[in-house]
Amino acid sequence: MGVFDVPPEFFDVRYLVYRTDIEPLYIKAIQRPWDKENVLLWIKKVRESGGVPVFRTHYAGRPLRANGNYAIWGISELSEVPNILFVDVPPEDFEFCVENKGEWKYLEDYFDEKEKLTKEIALLLAEYKEKKDEKIKEEAIKVANETKFSILKDYFLLIIEKNFK
């Protein structure tokens, strides 16, 4: 199944009321895990129906959380597509959405770049663990510094610092 194919259960008509860690906020929305496929599919459906997808990261000045993890509320403006509460959002993805003020148009590039960097740095880490060559660590740092997204740069430099020892 491709990223933009719609499984019938994705837009199930039943609504879930999901309790967040902010009292007394209750968000009436379908709940989905935050991942590239779910997010891009939802954006596509909202755009196809003439709507505008908005990603809300905060409420009353506090970050949205669900079960102790970051959550992002996908609001479908001017569309019949249901709102979605995306849960289990990684901290770096949450910060990216905060930095971009809920703007949807950068997310596909962000997900692609994150996926590419993850693969490249994982291969370099495996090679480094085998050879213990500092040039491999320098190459990983170079790869992390070449990204256009500052959040990903900081995230992968931290990963390199923790794992390339």
In a domain, 44, yes or no: yes
Q: Mean per-residue pLDDT for 130-155?
A: 96
Q: Examine the pLDDT at 3 and tell me if it is beyond 50.
A: no
Residue 8, pLDDT score: 53
Whether 52 and 96 share a structural domain: yes
Same domain, 13 and 93: yes
User: How confident is the model over 135-149, as a mean pLDDT?
Assistant: 96
Q: Give the CA distances from residue 42 to residues 10, 33, 53, 156, in Å, rounded to whole numbers and listed in that order.
A: 9, 12, 8, 27
Q: 88 and 118: one domain? A: no
pLDDT band at 13 (very low <50, low <70, confident <90, very high): very low
Of 59, 84, 102, the residue that ends a domain is 102
Whether 87 maps to a domain, the answer reads yes
Average pLDDT over every residue of 55-69: 89
The answer as to whether 115 is a domain residue is: yes
Asked which of 53, 76, 102 is the last residue of a domain, the reply is: 102
pLDDT at residue 55 greater than cutoff 80: yes
- What's the confidence (pLDDT) of residue 60? 81
7 in Cβ contact with 44 (< 8 Å): no
86 and 136 both lie in a single domain: no
* Residue 1 counted as domain residue: no
**What is the number of structural domains in the chain?**
2
Share of the chain above pLDDT 70, in %: 84
pTM reported for the whole predicted model: 0.82
What pLDDT sits at residue 59? 86
With tokens 């900081």, the residue in question is 154
2 within domain boundaries: no
Whether residue 40 is contained in a domain is answered as: yes
In degrees, to the nearest 5, what angle opens at C-alpha 4 toward C-alphas 54 and 41? 20
Helices (H), the chain: 36-48, 91-99, 107-131, 134-145, 150-163
Which whole number is the average pLDDT over 31-35? 96
In a domain, 3, yes or no: no
Q: What pLDDT is attached to residue 2?
A: 47
User: Does residue 27 share a domain with residue 55?
Assistant: yes
| Least confident range of 56-65, 117-126, 152-161 | 56-65
Per-chain mean pLDDT for the chain: 88
Q: Which domain holds residue 152?
A: 111-163
